[in-house]
Copies of this chain bind each other. A is one copy, B any other.
Amino acid sequence: MSVTAAAGFEAAGVAVGLKSTGNLDVAVVVNRGPLRVGAAVFTSNRAKANPIIWSQQVIQDGIVEAIVLNSGGANCFTGSFGFQTTHQTAEKAAALLGVSAGDILVCSTGLIGTGDEVFRTKVLAGVDRGIAELSADGGEAASLAIMTTDSKPKRAVFSGNGWTIGGMAKGAGMLAPGLATMLVVITTDAVLDASDAEATLRRATGVTFDRLDSDGCMSTNDQVTLMVSGASGVRPDLDEFARALTEVSQSLAQQLQGDAEGASHDITIDVVRAASEQDAVEVGRSVARNNLFKAAIFGNDPNWGRVLAAIGTTDAEFDPYDVDVSMNGVRVCSQGGPDRPREEVDLTPRATHLLIDLKVGEAAATILTNDLTHDYVHENSAYAS
């Protein structure tokens, strides 16, 4: 069900030939109200795609009527022609829906530099057909239409106390945190105002999508959007809603991790007893971005030396000679020296757990990443061909 699980939303996914495979490639999600509240977080990459530049303006007033998303082309670095394409996409959707273009978000994903006249014609056709096919059970088709190199759609639903949250996500490469790191649309029929929507969205993304770092490469197009219809008529407890939104976000983030390009291990890096949460995140991220560590995990090699070498490059508070490192429950390093024999560690399961105990404070953080594999190199060297 994804984005149509919550009451008040209609969606569609159509195929207009942006993908050479003929698969669905344009998604539309419309908020039928009664509220039209929206919030979004965007990539912090300074190289922003045209849809990001547009959507950052649209979101200013906290009102979102609909979102149009396309795969098969990022419309990034496509100049003023590309920006006009985004603008026309919003205008066309607005005209068909009888609303203002300034309340239509646009997202694009695919190869950077793709956004010519053929692209424009197809996207506009997709808006036409998508809006014609809108339905209250279109969430599944929409989640298929935003896929690029994803091997499967990502969806999540949470049933709250009289209200519902539904979500869809796409993302398989260029996964690294900015503010958002992929295309995600989350809908809810709970009653929220714009400031609560934004606050709970930032709270949820800050500890979920922002802590997914599959390959250290930040996208130009990433956006996480929350759309609020209020159709349940129920005003939720805000803490409860934030926890539910975090749960949906974490589920989608884990699905992104599990489908990351070429990965053979999903690595959960828990950094504990850090002086601050920021330190814990910095330490976790430095390990998540260390190619030697990631290649070792691919080879089922519990190479803790590479973990220590990675965290030694950070400014976090710790003594390299007092750190403990465990892999899949076996403490292979204690106080910066060898502990249990490496043979005791079984790294054959896809789910991999790395525990780093800094022993200086009370803070902790979890970073999700993947290993560095032959398939990652293959998929990303053949991507554009």
Of B311, B337, B378, B382, which is within 8 A of A47 by CB?
B311
Are the C-beta atoms of B291 and A384 separated by less than 8 Å? no
The verdict on A216 contacting B380 (CB below 8 Å), with A45-B313, A77-B336 known, is no
* Interchain nearest-CB distance for A104 vs B (Å): 23
The interface size bin for chain A is 35 or more
Q: What is the chain B residue whose CB lies nearest that of A304?
A: B113
The verdict on A296 contacting B79 (CB below 8 Å), with A47-B309, A113-B305, A218-B312 known, is no
* Interchain nearest-CB distance for A23 vs B (Å): 22
Q: A94-102, A239-247, A368-376: which lies at the B interface?
A: A368-376
The answer to whether A88 has its CB under 8 Å from any CB of chain B is: no
Interface of A is mostly: loop
The answer to whether A385 has its CB under 8 Å from any CB of chain B is: yes
Q: What is the chain B residue whose CB lies nearest that of A218?
A: B313
Of B310, B337, B376, B378, which is within 8 A of A79 by CB?
B337
Are the C-beta atoms of A376 and B295 separated by less than 8 Å? yes
Are the C-beta atoms of B219 and A112 separated by less than 8 Å? no
In the complex, chain A residues 286-321 whose Cβ is within 8 Å of any chain B Cβ: 289-292, 295-296, 298-299, 301, 303-306, 308-314, 320-321
Q: How far is the CA of A238 from the CA of B316 in the complex (A)?
A: 39
The verdict on A312 contacting B217 (CB below 8 Å), with A301-B385, A377-B298 known, is no
Q: What is the chain B residue whose CB lies nearest that of A338?
A: B113
B-chain residues with CB within 8 Å of residue A66 when the two chains form the complex = none
Q: How far is the CA of A377 from the CA of B298 in the complex (A)?
A: 8
Q: How far is the CA of A113 from the CA of B111 in the complex (A)?
A: 43
Q: How far is the CA of A191 from the CA of B321 in the complex (A)?
A: 40
The answer to whether A220 has its CB under 8 Å from any CB of chain B is: yes
* Interchain nearest-CB distance for A384 vs B (Å): 5
* Interchain nearest-CB distance for A51 vs B (Å): 15
Are the C-beta atoms of B303 and A383 separated by less than 8 Å? yes
B-chain residues with CB within 8 Å of residue A46 when the two chains form the complex = 312-314, 320
Q: How far is the CA of A303 from the CA of B385 in the complex (A)?
A: 10
Chain A residues near B (Cβ < 8 Å): 44-48, 74, 76-79, 111-113, 173-174, 178, 215-220, 289-292, 295-296, 298-299, 301, 303-306, 308-314, 320-321, 333, 335-338, 342, 372-374, 376-378, 380-385
Q: Supply 14 further A-B pairs (C-beta < 8 A) apart from A79-B321, A218-B313.
A: A44-B313, A46-B312, A46-B313, A47-B311, A48-B320, A74-B305, A112-B309, A215-B292, A291-B291, A291-B372, A291-B376, A295-B380, A296-B380, A301-B385
12 contacts between A and B (CB under 8 A): A48-B320, A77-B305, A111-B305, A112-B306, A112-B308, A216-B289, A218-B309, A220-B309, A296-B381, A296-B384, A301-B382, A374-B374
